[in-house]
Amino acid sequence: MTNLFFYGTLCHVPLLELVLGRPADTLDLTPAELPDHAVHWVAGQAFPVIVPRPGARAQGLLLRAPDAEGIERLEFYEGGFDYDLRRETVETADGPAPARVFFPQPGRWRADGPWSLPDWERDWATLTLRAANEAMGWFGRVTPAELAQRFPPMRARAGSWLDAQARPADPTRDLDRDIVVHDRRRVHFGFFSVEEVDLQVRQHDGSMGPVMNREALMVGQAAVVLPYDPVRDEVLVIEQFRTPLYLAGDRAPWVREAVAGLIDPGETPETTAIREAREEAGLEIAALEPVAQLWPSTGSLGEYLHLFVGLTDLSGLGSGRQGGLAEEGEDIRSDVMPLARLFEMLDAQELRDMPLTTITLWLARHHERLRAEAR
């Protein structure tokens, strides 16, 4: 049996327990240092990288003699992120000890400032534990490379779940008393997740209902912004192909929408709205007007939307401009039109996207105020 040395997020014992599938009191853990190495944040990421540094000492934990399954679980969690195990010698209070260490493949990650485990625990531990719980549920079912590809949306869903938990509870309901979950499982591994649950829910007459089987498509949360020029009284609407419409049999799967994008972990809805307007439409948003925060399809979809009107200057912009990120497969056309034309489309039931329809209804109530404030 070999030893393993951890220097980053796996020094957070609850995460190590989750990844190994064993409680800490069954593990032989001790503090250790790796000489002539330093731990740094990865630039733009929420995890660290270890780099050679003469005279430095990388602080961490030594796990003595992990079992074969534990090593397999660790390689599943770390392996797809281009980290390889390398043999080193670490120092402990009992003297030197051989250990294997996860090192990044050369050139894969760029080191930033010095790593701080307490800072990571404050800002990222809870989200990472939630995402890791979903990730390790796929151990033995997908490859480490497949897991790494899907880990970013797992983190986004974890962030969305934490935000949902922070919103006010229903004061008339007790979830622990009124909902009984018999089984809960994830049945699809992809960019989105499908969760299936067998549960009972307390009825309006006070009795517990029968066991029901339900499914939900779990997405995360997104920001949606409709660019509006209050001086010119114009809006910018985008059009793009939407696969779900095509799969559902709609013969017009190119849809007019507002600008939208999933919220990345660590982003605010406002930051996402501004970023997406820049990426999809090439626009700089001067100010955001909050419209609504809502679940667009409560019977099937686990996605939470933050809707905005984005105040901007649309002068000089015409219709037919192309936008979107090629690396994300986006092919987006933007059209600038008078707000009155958007209202006509609403009345003629030509708008088929719920967020755009909702924002248009809000603008019908508020555009005169926005125009007056812009004068």
Give the up-direction half-sphere exposure of residue 80: CA atoms within 13 A in the CB hemisphere: 18
Which of the following is catalytic: 88, 289, 328, 373?
A: 328
Residue 17 annotated among the catalytic residues of the structure: no
243, 255 contact by CB (below 8 A): no
The angle, 0 to 180 degrees and rounded to 10, between the axes of the packed helices 144-166 and 125-136 is 130
Is position 260 annotated in a ligand binding site? yes
* Amino acid letter, 34: L
Phi, psi of 318 (to 5 degrees): -105, -170
Burial group, residue 181, by CB count within 10 angstroms (0-12, 13-18, 19+) = exposed
Is position 146 annotated in a ligand binding site? no
3-state secondary structure of 218: strand
- C-alpha span between 282 and 275 (Å, rounded): 10
Phi, psi of 49 (to 5 degrees): -135, 145
Residue 246, both tokens: 């095509």
Is position 270 annotated in a ligand binding site? no
Is position 280 annotated in a ligand binding site? yes
Catalytic residues: 328
Which residue numbers belong to the known binding site for Mg(2+)? 260, 276, 280, 330
